[in-house]
Amino acid sequence: MSEVVIEANNLSKAYGQIQAVSGINLSIKEGEVYGFLGPNGSGKSTTILMMLGYTEPTGGSIRVWGKDPARDPIAVKRIVGYLPETVGFYGDLTGLENLLFTAELNGINPEEAHCRSLDLLDMVELLTSKDQPVSQYSRGMKQRLGIADVLIKDPKIVILDDPTLGLDPAGIQWLLELIERLSRQLKITIFLSSHQLHEVQRICNRVGIMSYGQLVLEGKVTELVNPTDDSEYEISVETESAVPSLRQQIRAMPHVKNVTGKGKHLLVKSVTDVRADIAQAVVSSGSRLLELQAQGNSLQEIYLKYFQEAST
C-alpha cells in the first residue's frame, strides 16, 4: 500500500476577516497524480503556500512526508519541487547556468550537478539551447527549463501550477507524458493545480475541486466522469453505407440500452462507453466508419455543476 505523503486535516487559513481556506482535508499517496481545481480566489494558491511553508495555517494542520512545513520548511523544500505559474530565471545566465545555480543552492556537488543538468536539458529537449541566455528563450522554452529546474534536486513530490501554460499542442502532449512517467516509473507524487480540465481528466488519478475556500468535491476521475445508474452515454454513429444488421448487432451488445435511427445514421444509448465495440462491428460488416462521437459526463461538466452549486 502506498504511503500517504501529503495530509491535511481541517486545514484553514484566514487573512483578517477573509477566510481563504476553510477546513479542507487532503490525503495524497506516493506516486499519485492529484488534480487540484478551482477558479481564481478559490483557495488553491493559499493551500499550496501552506504546503511549502510560505504561510502558516490559522487552523488545522498539514504534513508533507510527515513534516510540518511551517515548523520545518527547509526539510520540506528538500523533497518538494515547485513550478509556479510564472517561471522566473536569471535572464543573463544560460539555461545550463541557471540549472547549475539551482543545484548549488541545493548542495549538489559540481560534477554531479553538471551531469544531472545535461541529462535534464536533454530530457526537456533544450540541450541544443543550453548555452543560450534564458532572456532569449520563448515562454514554452522557459516552461520546459522550469520542469528541469524542479527535477534537479530529485524531489519526491512535485507541485505544478498550470504547467502547460505557454506550451504548444506538441509541448502539452510531451509534458503530460512526462508527468505520467514521473508518477509511474519514479513514484514521484504530482500535485497539479490547473485550469485545463481535459488535461487533468487525462492524467490525474484523483481530483479535488475548490470553491470559496472549501473542497466541494473529491474523488477518482474515473468514478466522477463515468455515468451513474441514472445517466448514460449517447453515441452518434455514421457509416459510409447502410448495414441492415448493424443496428441489431449494436443492440445486442452488453450495456447498450437503446438504438435509434436507421440507414447510415444511428444513435446509441448505453451505460458505458462502447465505441470500441461499435467500431469493430462496423469494420466487420464491411462498411467504413465516418463518425463515432460520445457525449457523457466530462470533468468540465462536473466542475461547473459543483461550482454553481457552491455559489448558491
Looking at the DSSP assignment, which residues form a beta bridge with residue 67? 64
* Residue 231 dihedral angles phi and psi, to the nearest 5°: -125, 175
Spatial contact of 35 and 221, defined as CB atoms under 8 Å apart: yes
At 310 the pLDDT is 47
At 303 the pLDDT is 64
Measured at the CA of 298, the angle between CA 294 and CA 300, to 5 degrees, comes to 140
Q: Are strands 189-193 and 33-37 parallel, antiparallel or unpaired?
A: parallel
Q: How far apart, in whole angstroms, are the C-alpha atoms of residue 177 and residue 203?
A: 8
Nearest one of 223, 252, 193 to 38, comparing CA atoms? 193
Contacting residues for 217 by C-beta, under 8 A, at least 6 apart: 207, 208, 209, 224, 302, 306
Q: How far apart, in whole angstroms, are the C-alpha atoms of residue 138 and residue 140?
A: 5
Contacting residues for 101 by C-beta, under 8 A, at least 6 apart: 90, 93
Nearest one of 304, 199, 282, 197 to 235, comparing CA atoms? 282
- Helix 139-151 to helix 110-123 angle (10° resolution) is 140
Q: Residue written as cell 465505441?
A: 275
Q: Which residue type, as a one-letter code, is found at position 145? A: L
* Residues in the chain where the model's pLDDT stays below 50: 227, 229, 310-312
At 308 the pLDDT is 54
Q: What is the pTM of this model?
A: 0.74
Looking at the DSSP assignment, which residues form a beta bridge with residue 158? 81, 190
Domains of the chain from N-terminus onward:
4-225 (3.40.50.300), 233-295 (3.30.70.2470)
| Residue 116, C-alpha cell as written in the block | 544531472
| 3-state percent helix, strand, coil for the chain, nearest multiple of 5 | 40, 30, 35
